[in-house]
Structures are given as C-alpha cells and as structure tokens.
Homo-oligomer: A and B are copies of this chain.
C-alpha cells in the first residue's frame, strides 16, 4: 500500500526538486520536504540549546482501542481531525513562537487555499497575545523559502474574504517577507530572522 498524506494524496518523493536543487546553490533542498527541513532545524536548535520548538502531533479522534493481554494497546479505529492550531510552536529567549509551514508548486503566487479559517483565527489569537507568529512559505519549483509575518497574511486573508485575490503575489512576498537561504545546519535558520526582527 502506498504511503499517503492525511488528506489522501499519495506521497511521492520529489525527483524534480532534486534536479531543481542541483542547479542551485550548494545547500538548497535535496528532495527533502519543507517539513523534513524544519524538523531537522528544530532538532538542531534543541541539541544546541538555541530554542525549543516542536511539531505538534497529528490530531486523531480515537474510536476503538483493543487491549490485548501482555502487549501494547492497539488503536483499531480512528479518524484524522482537523487541527485547531498551527503545526509548530515553542519558546525562544522566553518568547512564544508559533508558525505554520506550507509549500506550493505555483511559480508566481501563493494560493491562500493552503490555509484554513481556524488556523488564521488561531494565529490572530497568538498575535493579540504578543506571540511571535509567522508562516514559512516555500516555492518548491524555485526552492525558495520565505518568512512572512502573520500580520501580512491576515491582510491578504481579509481581502480574499471581501471577494479579492485568492492568493498572494510572489512579488508581494518578496517585498514583505524575508528570503531564508538554505544553510547546512540548521537547514532553514528562521531563528536568525526572529533574532533580527525581535531581539536587536
């Protein structure tokens, strides 16, 4: 049986990305997903004492569990639940960090359909509590990752809800966001951006 994402789409290791990255600079994405790159970065931050950021477990509604004698409980029936928060959170220098990571194969804009209403609501709540809240947006064809403060995302989201554009133009992300160059360790050094924006 092929491995699939929770949304049912089959997981296909991306050979195209590998090719694309070989043409680019040395530390670019070697067929790793954005999630893998972020997990590697978080592991690096944790092991070096730089920050403590974890990915939240996938929320699952458990319906039926079997308790065999002398062995571990087996979940026999469960369903994927929609997350009510973002995927990543943690602490850096006492401050609360919260973000979502998304990628697109689109070249000229980032579709807002990558986000759900409840995630935007969550990010607004975090913003109001003075948490550091942002999104990491990856253009997978050109293998570029941008840091975009959540406040910008709220503006585009509200415009869409008022009947406007359903995506963010790449040129706007280039202006309002910050390109994060791939590095060896961590792969995506988003804490460096946070340092520059909040601690200098």
Q: Which chain A residues have a beta carbon within 8 Å of chain B's beta carbons?
A: 1, 4, 6, 8, 46, 49, 51-52, 54, 56-60, 62, 64-65, 67, 72-81, 83-85, 89-98, 122, 125-126, 128-131
Bound Cα distance A180, B158 (Å): 41
A44 to chain B, nearest CB (A): 14
A126 to chain B, nearest CB (A): 6
Instruction: List the 9 closest A-B pairs by CB distance, nearest first.
Output: A94-B130, A91-B96, A57-B59, A75-B78, A91-B131, A96-B96, A91-B129, A57-B57, A52-B125
Number of copies: 2
Bound Cα distance A90, B58 (Å): 17
Whether the Cβ atoms of B77 and A75 lie closer than 8 Å is yes
Main secondary structure of the interface of A (DSSP, over half): mixed
A95 contact from B1, B46, B94, B122, Cβ within 8 A? B94
Asked whether A75 and B80 contact (CB < 8 A) given A93-B130, A125-B52, A130-B94, the answer is yes
Whether the Cβ atoms of A125 and B79 lie closer than 8 Å is no
User: Considering residues A75, A76, A89, which has the most beta carbons from chain B within 10 angstroms of its beta carbon?
Assistant: A75
